[in-house]
Structure 1
Amino acid sequence: MFSKSKINEPGPKASDTKPAAADASKPAVSDSKPAAPKAKPPASTVASDLLITGNVKTTGDIQVEGQVEGDIRAHLLTVGEGATVKGEVVADDVVINGRIIGRVRGLKVRLTSTARVEGDIIHKTIAIESGAHFEGSVQRQDDPLSTGSKKMPTTAATDPKS
């Protein structure tokens, strides 16, 4: 029956003071929120008329439409239909529409119907569409991106004469 609530006490009502305090604190509240994650930058593109001689390394995505003579390391690598890469490719996701001459290492590797790969593929998952051209060996590994991968046995080690 008796309570210490301030509902019936004289003076400014709590509802009268809240809006002013809320308005004053809105900027402070929005400033204290963690910033939204930065938008992912667009993929870097190697144009069809561009030849890169040397290694390319990024934590982002690369779209190759021209030629690269060197190794590529990226998060997502897409090789366009008219593109050629001569070197080792290491990426989380690799989509090949064009030509790669060299080793391919990726968690997910996809060869489309227009792909031409001359080299070994080390992968966690792979998809090869009908019509793709592939010359080399395929090896599944749980961690194909690690540099300390198992080496393939040499012929001397398997030769009974040695």
Structure 2
Amino acid sequence: MFSKTRVTEPGPRAFTQDSEVNRPVMDTKPDFPAAPQPMRARSGPSVLSSDLTVKGNITTQGDAQIEGVVEGDIRAHQLTVGESATIRGEIVADEIIVNGRVVGRVRGLKVRLSATARVEGDIVHKTIAIESGAHFEGSVQRQEDPLGNGITPKLAPPQPVDLDD
């Protein structure tokens, strides 16, 4: 006979023959591990299409591809600015690929401006690549950790020098 606990136990069940009375017996041993393993699969990027305008900040831990207009700051793991995109605000990401227009500061570990890029603003990076044909107006500063605190250190103002000594 079956016990109540065997009937209510979760998991797949297999039937075998009980040799004493020649009847099926249910096997309740689950075929899966006791603790689920964390999943780290990456899905595709979040895409904002070319007919979309966003007024506000965007934050994601994943990847994003912008084809429309964003008036606000963007923070992502990897950000691709499409050829038809315009971003007015600060971009902060591990990897940034600019194919469109950015008006604002760009901070990333890896920054790439393609030939179709139009950037008006400062770029703080660890590594940078600028293709021939890209338009860029601003300053470029290399930092070991451009994502750190978000503050670009400024140089101290020049001090007067006494030349009479």
TM range (shorter): 0.7 to 0.9
Supply the distance in 1 between the matched residues of 2:118 and 2:67 (Cα, whole angstroms): 14
Q: Does 1:110 align with 2:115?
A: no
Supply the distance in 1 between the matched residues of 2:150 and 2:74 (Cα, whole angstroms): 18
Supply the distance in 1 between the matched residues of 2:148 and 2:71 (Cα, whole angstroms): 22
User: Unmatched 5+ residue regions in structure 2?
Assistant: 1-26
| Deviation of the 1:39 alpha carbon | 2.3
Q: Does 1:35 align with 2:47?
A: no
| Deviation of the 1:70 alpha carbon | 0.4
1:59 maps to amino acid: Q
Give the 5 Å matches for 1:25-64: 27-28=30-31, 30-32=32-34, 34-35=36-37, 37-64=39-66
| Deviation of the 1:159 alpha carbon | 6.7
Supply the distance in 1 between the matched residues of 2:71 and 2:46 (Cα, whole angstroms): 17
What is aligned with 1:144? 146
Q: Does 1:101 align with 2:103?
A: yes
* Structure 2 SS opposite 1:62: strand
Residue identity over aligned pairs, in percent, reads: 60
Aligned match for 1:66, one of 50, 65, 68: 68
- Cα separation, partners in 2 of 1:148 and 1:77, compared to 1, 3 Å: closer
How many residue pairs match? The answer is 135
Supply the distance in 2 between the matched residues of 1:160 and 1:101 (Cα, whole angstroms): 36
- Cα separation, partners in 2 of 1:141 and 1:43, compared to 1, 3 Å: same
1:116 maps to amino acid: R
* Structure 1 SS opposite 2:78: strand
1:136 maps to amino acid: G
Supply the distance in 1 between the matched residues of 2:121 and 2:96 (Cα, whole angstroms): 14
| Deviation of the 1:148 alpha carbon | 4.9
Structure holding more helix per residue = 1
1:104 maps to amino acid: V
- Cα separation, partners in 2 of 1:127 and 1:74, compared to 1, 3 Å: same
Q: Does 1:90 align with 2:92?
A: yes
| Deviation of the 1:160 alpha carbon | 4.2
C-alpha deviations, 1:86-134, integer Å up to 9, x for none? 0000000000000000000000000000001000000000000010110
Runs of 4+ in 1 over 3 A off after TM superposition: none
1:134 maps to amino acid: F
- Cα separation, partners in 2 of 1:148 and 1:85, compared to 1, 3 Å: closer
1:158 maps to amino acid: P
